[in-house]
Each structure stands twice: as C-alpha cells, then as structure tokens.
Amino acid sequence: MAGASAQHKKIARRGLMFVLSSPSGAGKTTLSRMLLKADRRITLSISVTTRPKRPGEVDGRDYHFIDTLRFDDLVKNNELLEWAEVFGHRYGTPRRPVIEALQAGRDVLFDIDWQGTQQLRERARDDLVSVFILPPTVRELERRLKSRAQDSKAVIHSRMAKAAGEMSHWPEYDYVIVNRDRAQAFAEIRAILAAERLKRERQIGLSSFVRALQAKL
C-alpha cells in the first residue's frame, strides 16, 4: 500500500485558477483567507490596484499598490491577465506569477469580480474554476457591510446599489454557493476544489501512470 501511495504522488498535475466572486459583503474575502490558511497547495494571486491602502493592509500581501501611470504601462504591455475598474479604482492580475504557478502544478486563488472572471474565461477557460457566493438575504448583506467598519455610509450605499447588478452574473459561474453559514460554505468550497483537482484532464501525468500499471499486468 505504501508503495502504491508513493507512486500515485508522482502523477503530475497542472495547476488551476480558482475564482471566488461575490457582491461586496457576501463573504468571499473571509472564505478566501480561510482557504489559504487550510490548504497549502493553493496560493493567492496578489492583484495590483490604484486604490489607497485600507487600515491593516500591507503592500505585497493584500495588494500591490501602484499609481495610475504604472497601471497604464502594465495594460499597454499586456502584463495583466485581467483588469477592471471598480468604484473608481482599477484592479488587475499580473500575468507572469500566475502562469509560472500553473506550470509548476500549483493552484492560484483569485478574489475578483465578474468582470475579471469574464476576462480570465476568455483567455484561459481550461484552467479556470469559478465560484459565485451569494448572501442569504439583502438585510444580511447590509449588516455585513456595516460590521466591517471600513467604508463610509455613502460607500456602503453605493455597494448595496451595485449588488443587484453583480448578482445578475451568477449564471456565468461554474458553481454557486449561498453563504448562510460560513462553515458550511467553506466546506462546499473545499469540496469543489478537491473534485476539480481530480479531473482527468488536469492530471497531465495520468497517462504514463496508467501505462506503467498496465505494463506490470
């Protein structure tokens, strides 16, 4: 049994891009942090952004904070896999670290909106697994936004007004989770990731593994 287990570990696998999207306040950032803490085989894609740092955020850990001119250069030189403007600020995904991770068999987590997900789907559909997270009620969504104590009343109102438009994109995602209970939603996310990792087309070393088994029969 031990020998079989060791042989199984030799099966090479291409990494996947695991996207979590939701309206602001539905829980994607919290669930993303839980996943990163629980699973060492997935790493966070650190986006670049033109927005100012929020209290507690660290450059290079939460985002790469850059100015508008630098962002323009990245777009012009095709160095971003996707980018979008959200609430007056721009966000984008640097291309090179993601491609390198996938080729090395590591999974990459994206905490992005529907616009970014759409661009990733157009450019790398075979590598993409997308999950949309919905709040259980509008009242709960508003409560979560207020409890963060990060935004002004005007910003919260703007996020609530935009939520309906964001939620209209749920049919474009591979999976949809209603975040009624954080532990349950997290368990569902992990189940999705586990299943997607086992897809035949992602196990690029599977053919040689099977041939080796057949040769010994």
pLDDT at 39: 97
Q: Phi first, then psi: give them for residue 22, nearest 5 degrees.
A: -170, 165
Calpha distance 179→132 (Å, rounded)? 10
* Residue 204: alpha-carbon gap to chain centroid: 22
Residues in the chain: 217
Helix (H, G, I), strand (E, B) or coil at 202: helix
Do β-strands 80-86 and 107-111 pair in parallel, antiparallel, or remain unpaired? unpaired
Please report the pLDDT score of residue 165 as a whole number: 87
Fold category of 13-203 in CATH: Rossmann fold (3.40.50)
Q: Could you list the pLDDT tens digit for every one of the 217 residues in the chain? A: 444 444 445 788 999 999 999 988 788 889 999 999 999 999 999 999 999 998 899 999 989 999 999 999 999 999 999 998 888 999 999 999 999 999 999 999 998 889 899 999 999 999 999 999 998 888 887 787 777 666 677 777 777 878 888 999 999 999 999 999 999 999 999 999 999 999 999 999 899 999 999 999 9
Whole-structure pTM value: 0.83
Q: Residue 206 and residue 193: Cα distance in Å, rounded? A: 19
Cβ 112 vs Cβ 93: under 8 Å: yes
